[in-house]
Structure 1
């Protein structure tokens, strides 16, 4: 297989370098076509990553973990949106999850619940009962860079494959900005 070209990174088949992935990601990757590249962990945040490695923001998708509550019930979900977009968490996401209150999950909760590093959390390998809400722009974007579960690498996958994850739902979640 020929490695894709995106930015200044050297992409390798994820299955060949499992040490670059968090354990939950390794366990869940299966046959998903994915590439991985090592990066400087201090540059894992999207803006710094894209600037350093010449990756367009439109080819980078962020995964944010949200926490919703309704009548004493607690719900976690992952929201995938392009780095060029803002997710409508208080509108579309809250209504889709059927929760009264919603917020971004606390860092300690997100890390403890996923087994991934903050700043590297990805929808691949999340707890199976968590919904993964994928913005339609991500699903249509082609190859996108996402977290690998650790800050020291990034995954490259087709956005359409994220939409096919078992717990995924594609929605119009984001707006440019």
Structure 2
């Protein structure tokens, strides 16, 4: 995991957004990893964006997972969801995601909406601790990765977790082809 100084996340709640800390406190007993196997590392908040983070800390893009919040509309109803994809890919928002959410229009959620609805910082949003009624769509490549780095809900840290654990989060669904490789 590059030069990250990892510690058990439950012992460093100061490095987690409040919704993330609350989710770890009620971590399911049947999860593929125990809550004490969810690790966190402090980082420079100015380096939270994926490319800068990976370069500075020596973490491969192929083990860095992004959580993107999407909003889909059908009529007057807006549905939110999280897409978990590797940094080497891009979510197929207008195809796979739109059809999966059964909406007419789908796009990345506006930053202000994503921050307000998740209680997390933009650039640090993570699938751990999202609203319970949101689907979490996980690209199959993420769960096939033994360990990934994701956001922690804040910009000044990152979480390291087993890829398969993300596919087992409450509300998660593993989807083949959710994302496409970047050209």
One fold, TM greater than 0.5? Answer: yes
**The one of 10, 14, 17 aligned to 1:15:** 10
Question: Which ranges of structure 2 fall in alignment gaps of 5 or more residues?
Answer: 28-33
Q: Distance in 2 between matches of 1:103 and 1:91?
A: 11
- Normalising by structure 2, we get a TM-score of 0.92
Local SS of the residue matching 1:123: coil
Question: Which ranges of structure 1 fall in alignment gaps of 5 or more residues?
Answer: 1-5
- Aligned-residue Cα RMSD (Å) equals 0.7
Aligned residue pairs, count = 172
**How far has the Cα of 1:97 moved from its partner?**
0.5
2:21 maps to 26
**The one of 113, 116, 125 aligned to 1:109:** 113
1:95 maps to 99
**The one of 164, 169, 180 aligned to 1:175:** 180
- Normalising by structure 1, we get a TM-score of 0.95
Local SS of the residue matching 1:118: coil
After superposition, where does 1:2-151 map in structure 2 within 5 Å?
6-29=1-24, 30=27, 31-32=34-35, 33-151=37-155
Please tell me whether residue 152 in structure 1 is matched to residue 156 in structure 2: yes
Q: Which runs of 4+ in 1 moved over 6 A?
A: none
